[in-house]
Amino acid sequence: MSATQQAEEVKDTATGVVLTDTAADKVKALIEQEGEEGLALRVEVSPGGCSGLRYGLFFDTDRREGDVISAYDGFEVVVDRMSVPYLMGASIDFADRIDAQGFTIDNPNAQGSCACGDSFH
């Protein structure tokens, strides 16, 4: 397998995170609104929160060694290699209703979470 094929395979490998159509549309709109070339949605897990681990979602132009990248229509989702195991099978949705607004993460790896849903263990 050539280096190009390996790079394409890594890019096509699931980051472990799947965006719903609604979330993907919102991310694409927000990136277009920012107007900066090369912005991607970076999803990470870091220590913190009342349950031990906290999700982070932000726009980023950096690509780091070991990042796992998934292409969507018009943008990429980037997950660092340390966060991938925590996010395998996770789904990100976006809600814009009177009772809920913003991005939500449904993570089958979380054994529990805090009441606010911002952190998990």
Interval 85-104: pLDDT, tens:
889 889 999 998 888 789 98
Q: Would the pLDDT of 3 be above 50?
A: no
| 17 or 4, which is more confident | 17
Interval 15-70: pLDDT, tens:
678 999 999 999 999 999 998 999 999 999 888 766 578 889 999 999 999 999 99
Which pTM does this prediction carry?
A: 0.76
pLDDT for 93 equals 94
Cβ-proximal residues to 3 (8 Å cutoff; 6+ apart), any chain = none
Domains of the chain, first to last: 3-110 (2.60.300.12)
Burial (0-12, 13-18, 19+ Cβ within 10 Å), 25: middle
